[in-house]
A and B are shown apart, each in its own frame.
Chain A
Amino acid sequence: DQQVKQNSPSLSVQEGRISILNCDYTNSMFDYFLWYKKYPAEGPTFLISISSIKDKNEDGRFTVFLNKSAKHLSLHIVPSQPGDSAVYFCAASEDAGNMLTFGGGTRLMVKP
């Protein structure tokens, strides 16, 4: 049973527009959520995280929103750039980042 789901396998966005990547989870014990970006033949790169005591965290062009009641988080990228094209994984942890459970990933394509 998948505890972390990314229901959109792919997303295509025009350069300069907003990219919104979504993630749903089922385990109410998760208390820390992270987003990673992955290019082919490379390891995941940490982007941004949020703890369950917050509902928003912002870092430059990246903002993560957490809706605990809906068990949903989203990553907003504004403005999107062609270099953002990659696979994005959301991950969740119930012990503050130690054991990560990953979603299936969403491939983002940003068109020039």
Chain B
Amino acid sequence: DTEVTQTPKHLVMGMTNKKSLKCEQHMGHRAMYWYKQKAKKPPELMFVYSYEKLSINESVPSRFSPECPNSSLLNLHLHALQPEDSALYLCASSRNRGRWNEQFFGPGTRLTVL
């Protein structure tokens, strides 16, 4: 299995809703990432997990809450989002936080906040 899967593919939520995005990989990778990509812009890093521990938080608002229950799974819990949070949310994984690791991306979840 050489892919990163993300569910759901699309999500529409109101500003008072609580929802979660899910990411899964079975490549034995020990580093996992969340990115946000707005239209016609490059992906921007949000969080990095290394060996199931949060190692980098790029000053992301607390309405985004990541969770890594095990080495194969990464969640992003969403609460009280704003319309400007609408974007494509990408998950990625890499072997570890060692040297010369390429990141493999999932297809993304397209989020719309009404």
Residues of A within 8 A of B (CB): 32, 34, 36, 41-46, 49, 51, 89, 95-105
Residues of B within 8 A of A (CB): 4, 6, 31, 41-45, 48, 56, 90, 92, 94, 97-108, 110
Count A-B contacts at CB 8 Å: 62
Cβ-defined contact, A96 with B107, below 8 A: no
Cβ-defined contact, A99 with B56, below 8 A: yes
Complex Cα distance, B101 from A44, in Å, reads 15
Q: Which of B45, B99, B105 contacts A99 (CB 8 A)?
A: B45
Cβ-defined contact, B100 with A97, below 8 A: yes
Complex Cα distance, B6 from A64, in Å, reads 30
Instruction: Write the chain B residue with the least CB distance to A34.
Output: B102
Complex Cα distance, B100 from A49, in Å, reads 9
